[in-house]
Each structure stands twice: as C-alpha cells, then as structure tokens.
C-alpha cells in the first residue's frame, strides 16, 4: 500500500529536477511537475496555506530543501493585491497558479545608472489553474497581481530560499525607477 501523497510526489519531482545542470532544462522540469500536480485536481496544500491576509498578499514557506537547492513558497493574493516591480536577485523561479487567476507583467531593463533604472513592459499574461512560467535571469523583472475579485493562490519554487529582493519604485522622473532592497518574510 502506497503512502505517497500528491505533495510528496511534487517534492520528489522537484528533487529530481534541481539535479539538472542546465537552468532552462531545470525550470522546464519544475514547470512540468507543478503543472501536472496542480492540474490533477488534487488538493495538495493544507488549508492554513490558502488564507489571504489583509493589507498585503500572504507568503508562506511550504518546503525548504534540506540541501539548500530550492524552496517552495505559497502566496495568497486577495482582491486588488499585487507586487511592486521587482527581481529575484539573480535566482531562477518558477511560478504556478493553484487557484484563481493572476496577471504577470514582465519587463526588460532599458538602462541603469547607479540605483536608477528604466524598464519597458515586454509581456502581459493572465494565468489560470495549472499555468506555470519561469523567470530566468537576466529576464526576471516583473509584477504579479490578482486578476479577479476572489483570492488567488500561487506556488513559487525558488533557487535556494529567497530572503530579499530588489523592488523598483517610480521616481518623480517619468519612466524612471529607484532600486530599493526589500527583506522578505513569511506571513504568520
């Protein structure tokens, strides 16, 4: 009799994926694993990971690889919640929609002078159940927002554990952003 749960199966698939040397192949395997598990329709996440928080999206650690190769973070987006334009500090990331819909806008860096940047939007994607995408440096600048008026839940697999990132805040100069370090924490 098997005691393998869909969540355990996902972790096993992620463990195999991060053994790959090529970052694009690794991210493709992570995307496939997330898509397959989420699209199966099984409820793999504990209920306490699915609750929104007032004022900001929820960020909860689901799994930290004991070897430090990746982490799995669950984010819950309430109505109108989203991120500032940000990066992932040079780390790859794969994001997958578990519930609801999210809008992801990717940006390309046009110029950089010290901590001042200019970006141009590249693509805008509205993603639904099981849709997964990868952010591979240097193409990592993006925003994420809930696309509906009901909560959305996403699963994020990061290279290592993402403890901080840069956000880019608009300045008084049209089209210019200032880079600011943001320490990240988990909800509850």
Distance CA 100, CA 148 (A): 7
Tell me whether residue 2 is in a domain.
Answer: no
pLDDT at 1: 47
Average the pLDDT over 71-90 and give the result. 96
Residue 5 lies in a domain: no
- Residue span of the structural domain in which 95 resides: 47-183
User: Across the chain, which distance is largest between two alpha carbons, in Å?
Assistant: 64
Q: Is the pLDDT of residue 2 over 60?
A: no
- What share of the chain has pLDDT > 70, as a percent? 98
Q: Please indicate, yes or no, if residue 17 is contained in any of the structural domains.
A: no
Residue 119 lies in a domain: yes
Mean pLDDT of the chain: 94
pLDDT digits (tens, 9 = 90+) for 3-60: 688 999 999 999 999 999 899 999 999 999 999 999 988 899 999 999 999 989 999 9
Query: Domain for residue 33, yes or no?
Result: no
Residue 163 lies in a domain: yes
Whether 24 maps to a domain, the answer reads no
**pLDDT score of 14:** 97
**Which tens digit of pLDDT belongs to each residue from 121-153?**
999 999 999 999 999 998 899 999 999 999 999
Residue 29 lies in a domain: no
Residue 92 and residue 137 in contact, taking contact as beta carbons nearer than 8 Å: yes
Mean pLDDT value of segment 149-176: 95
| Inter-residue contact 88 to 39 (CB < 8 Å) | no
Q: Domain containing 167 — which CATH number?
A: 2.60.120.10
Residue 41: predicted pLDDT: 84
Q: What is the pTM of this model?
A: 0.94
Q: How many domains is the chain built from?
A: 1
């Amino acid at each position: 009799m098997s005691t393998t749960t869909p969540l355990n199966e996902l972790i096993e698939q992620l463990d195999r994926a991060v053994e790959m040397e090529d970052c694009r192949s690794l991210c493709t395997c992570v995307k496939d694993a997330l898509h397959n598990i989420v699209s199966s329709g099984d409820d793999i996440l504990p209920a306490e990971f699915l609750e929104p928080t007032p004022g900001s999206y929820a960020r909860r650690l689901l799994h930290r690889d004991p070897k430090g190769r990746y982490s799995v973070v669950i984010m819950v987006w309430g109505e109108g919640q989203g991120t500032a334009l940000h990066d992932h500090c040079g780390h790859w990331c794969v994001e997958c929609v578990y519930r609801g819909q999210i809008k992801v806008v990717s940006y390309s860096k046009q110029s950089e002078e010290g901590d001042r940047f200019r970006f141009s939007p590249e693509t805008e994607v509205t993603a639904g159940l099981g849709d997964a995408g990868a952010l591979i440096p240097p193409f990592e600048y993006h925003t994420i927002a809930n696309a509906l008026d009901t909560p959305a839940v996403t699963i994020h697999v990061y290279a290592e554990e993402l403890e901080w990132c840069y956000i880019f805040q608009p300045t008084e100069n049209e089209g210019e952003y200032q880079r600011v370090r943001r320490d990240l924490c988990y909800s509850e």
